[in-house]
Amino acid sequence: MKYKIWISGAMLTAACLNPLLVNAQQVAAGATQEQGLEEVVVTAQFVRQNLQVTPVAITAVDAGTLESRGQVSVQQIAAQAPNVNLTEGGAFGGPSLIGFIRGVGQTDFNPALEPGVGLYVDDVYYSTLTGSVLDLLDLDRVEVQRGPQGTLSGKNSIGGAIKLYSKKPGADSDAYVEVGYGSYNELSVRAASSFTLVPDQLWARVSGVSRARDGFVTRLDYGCTHPGSAAAQSFPTQVQGAGCTIGHDGGIKYTGGRLAFRWVPNENVELNFAADAVNEVSEPPANVLLGVGPTIVPVIIGGSMYPTVAFLPGFPPGVVPPFFPGVTNLDGCNFIAYGPNSCDPASPNNAYVNYSTYVDPNNGLSVAPNQKVNSRGYALNIDWKLSDALQLQSITAYRQYDAGFALDSDATPYGLQNLYQSLEHNQTSQELRLSGKAGDLLEYTVGGFYFDQETPETGRIDLAYVAFDFIHGPDPADDTNWAVFGHGIFHFMDKLDLSLGVRYSDDKKTYTYARHNPDGSDIQPCIGPPGTPGNPPNCLISTLNGVSTTFEGNRTDYRAALSYRWTDALMTYLQYSTGYKGGGVNPRPFYNVQAVTFKPETLDAIELGVKSQFLDNTLRVNAAVFTSNYKDILLTLNDCAALFPPGFGFPCLAPVNAGDADVEGAELEVSWQPIRGLQMDGSYSYLDFSYSSLNYPSTDTGVDLDHVTPYTPKYKWSLGVQYEMSLGAGTLTPRVDVNAQDKMYTDAPNTDLGTIDSYTLMNARLAWQNGEKDWVIALECRNLTDELYYTTKTNQVPAAAGSAYGAPGIPRTFLFSVSHSL
């Protein structure tokens, strides 16, 4: 295995910084700075450490920074984190979080597949993409750890880990209430407070949030906007009242709360218990039609013997095929409301419009246009000081959610794909950590972890493009994982540390398929090949019902990091680390031969980093370069001719271990307070992803060696500036944040319709705080330049599913808020 690492660049950086460190006192003498950058404490290596001496690439954000940036949801924290991409799942994924760090992640919400980025709240693992779009409620800090965290965080933190830490109850009430109102009738309320129940022993903290906002994508009735067209005569209208609007996509509505107790019965024991709940009933994710293509079978709309509208593969619009007399073939591009692929002369030319009905006019199926999440969680954290040199920590947790969402993928009245998918998730986890010291030489942690989850998925799957309409599930995905681990920090010299870690993991996942007709009856076998007259409905998947497939595996991960503190303000480190993403079972086979397992992804990386803080602690510069060997990469393929016997490779939605890649990159983060009141921060990242080998020919998969993994832009950068000005009646703080990223692809085959173009976003906030610091009035604007960009895209044209669709980002919005500390 060959590694290439830019040692010379990192050494040059250290060499350039050292003279600055030597002369820091003289340079800083002219600055009128009362206080430098605050110390940042992280727990990435199981112990509390200053960020600047921790040999891990970490973006750490405290609650005050989140507030000044106006960030209220987990996906927003990626804007300032190098090589990190977080976005909501879009129409395909519903209430799920797509997370990628350094080119490693996961796009599919199905619980049969594992996340590639670990998400933790107060050290409790969130194991599925669904239910991971979290509100940043009452947080103390966020740590974004980049690179494989196989020994420090465990399974599925192969790309990195995102860790959220809540504020703990205490004697200080730290109470506040915040109310905000803004664009699209957004209304938000946030509040929190601590209470002393028993002085010096028992405290409670309650926090809550309620947020609602109307959708920004308008669903129009096609017949109403195009009266007299052939389509208007065939699709029943859904308009009620005046106008042509039948609904909206992209609106949100949720309420959440958290109740925490902290008990310190004596100086050696501390217990923290927390219970949280979220109830969400939002509109479907924003979705618009971007491109069209042929379907596998004709999709014909109409109730007479000779229907009037069809979506027929291989025939141009207006042509009447001889075997469909009386049929008008209407090209789907008539339903594209915006962009170069639209062929509708009466198009509204609006990027935030679709013609979704969530109805299949052929069978009358109507799915509720919403997405829902009801989640509950309980966690108990016990810290027991056994002696001055030994501490035991126990983290016990249970989480549960019920989630569901609708999908009208083609965003037209055709009903090429109408689905409503539901998941019921239950997970239990237990972690034990024993931490201690051996004099001044060693700090160590040893422990064990057990995790068990069950996530049945159920769906009404209406796929007109393949003439399927069936009940999927409930398909239980049962997953267990146990692990043992150890980590030590050896302090060989005052300035030289060696961190060593190892973790052994054991996995077992079983997936069981249930497939029935919409009325609940058994699906009958085919009497002939596809297309044979008299074949029973859905007969191609008749052999799947009751089939169960199991994946089992184990893995050992390692980590070694050598760090040296050249001065109190400059540290460099060299790290080798590994990680893996769990294997599993194909959750969406079209035939029983496609019910196969796939292996885990694995990654090992070398990283060279520098952490520095100088100019009298007013300037912090952290940088890292890395190279990774990424093996057995999982890609979901639409054409699996190379995998299965002839006739069973298409249609297909199979996750397969498609190949290996080399990944190299660089990251830079800067924080600077040049003068009193002025604060600046910035980041830059570069990533080069290159497949080194592919296991299947590109003619079968559409994936070439020059393609890159999804949601991986080559570069990203951000810049934020704020200045606190003193007024007679308090302070006024304007802030501007700009973040930009290169183009990226959203599907394994890199296609034009699956490309998100590069974009730059600007956010601004103006906040006034009174002299007593108990009132804050703020006005913020997101997407200040009103840029049109997309957060997700899904191109199913190569799969002959008829459409490519995407989620536009929200246009320019304003929010006015008032906060009062009690």
| DSSP annotation string for 128-195 | SSBT---B--SEEEEEEEES--TTTT-TT-SSEEEEEEEPPP-SS---EEEEEEEGGGEEEEEEEEEE
pLDDT of the residue at 20? 39
pLDDT band at 3 (very low <50, low <70, confident <90, very high): very low
Question: 682 pLDDT exceeds 70?
Answer: yes
CA distance 328 to 428: 56
725-737 burial, b at 16+ Cβ within 10 Å, e below that, comes to eeeeebbebebbb
Q: Taking CA 232 as the corner, what is the angle to CA 227 and CA 238, rounded to the nearest 5 degrees? A: 100
pLDDT band at 367 (very low <50, low <70, confident <90, very high): very high
Question: 25 pLDDT exceeds 80?
Answer: no
Q: Please list the residues that pair with 478 across neighbouring strands.
A: 454, 510
Lowest mean pLDDT among 52-61, 224-233, 278-287, 384-393: 224-233
H or E stretch including 806?
strand 801-808
pLDDT band at 19 (very low <50, low <70, confident <90, very high): very low
Burial degree of 222 (CB within 10 A; 0-12, 13-18, 19+):
buried
pLDDT band at 378 (very low <50, low <70, confident <90, very high): very high
Structure tokens at 599: 């292996």
Amino acid in position 539? C
Q: Taking CA 663 as the corner, what is the angle to CA 498 and CA 85, rounded to the nearest 5 degrees? A: 95
pLDDT of the residue at 324? 63
pLDDT of the residue at 724? 95
pLDDT of the residue at 347? 86
For 775-822, write each residue's pLDDT tens digit: 999 999 999 999 999 999 999 888 888 889 999 999 999 999 999 998
Q: Taking CA 763 as the corner, what is the angle to CA 759 and CA 766, rounded to the nearest 5 degrees? A: 170
pLDDT band at 223 (very low <50, low <70, confident <90, very high): confident
560-573 burial, b at 16+ Cβ within 10 Å, e below that, comes to ebbbebeeebbbbb
pLDDT band at 4 (very low <50, low <70, confident <90, very high): very low
Question: Is the CA virtual torsion 646, 650, 655, 658 positive or negative?
Answer: positive
pLDDT of the residue at 449? 98
Q: Taking CA 337 as the corner, what is the angle to CA 88 and CA 653, rounded to the nearest 5 degrees? A: 45
For 146-162, write each residue's pLDDT tens digit: 999 999 999 999 999 99
pLDDT of the residue at 799? 80
pLDDT of the residue at 320? 55
pLDDT of the residue at 333? 85
- Whether 579 contacts 588, CB under 8 Å: no
pLDDT band at 752 (very low <50, low <70, confident <90, very high): very high
pLDDT of the residue at 441? 94
Query: Average model confidence (pLDDT) for the chain?
Result: 90
- What are the CA-CA distances from residue 654 to residues 158, 542, 594, 747, 755 (Å)? 21, 18, 7, 13, 21
What lies within 8 Å, CB to CB, of 265 at 6+ separation is 201, 271
- Whether 495 contacts 570, CB under 8 Å: no
CA distance 577 to 56: 10
pLDDT of the residue at 6? 43
Sheet containing 299-301: order of strands = 299-301, 309-311, 328-329
Structure tokens at 198: 């028993």
What is the dihedral angle through the alpha carbons of 460, 462, 468, 470, rounded to the nearest 10 degrees?
10
Q: Give the position of tokens 């052999």.
A: 543
What lies within 8 Å, CB to CB, of 282 at 6+ separation is 95, 251, 252, 253, 254, 370, 371, 372
Structure tokens at 677: 């009141």
3-state SS track over 373-442:
EEEEEEEEEEEEEEECCEEEEEEEEEEEEEEEEEEECCCCCCCCEEEEEEEEEEEEEEEEEEEEEECCCE
Average pLDDT over residues 506-535: 91
Query: 518: helix, coil or strand?
Result: coil
Specify the pairing of strand 353-354 against strand 217-220.
parallel
Question: 233 pLDDT exceeds 80?
Answer: no
pLDDT of the residue at 28? 37
Structure tokens at 118: 């670990």
More confident residue, 643 or 41: 41
For 302-331, write each residue's pLDDT tens digit: 655 444 555 555 555 555 555 566 666 667
Average pLDDT over residues 659-678: 96
For 582-617, write each residue's pLDDT tens digit: 999 999 888 888 888 999 999 999 999 999 999 999
- Whether 778 contacts 766, CB under 8 Å: yes
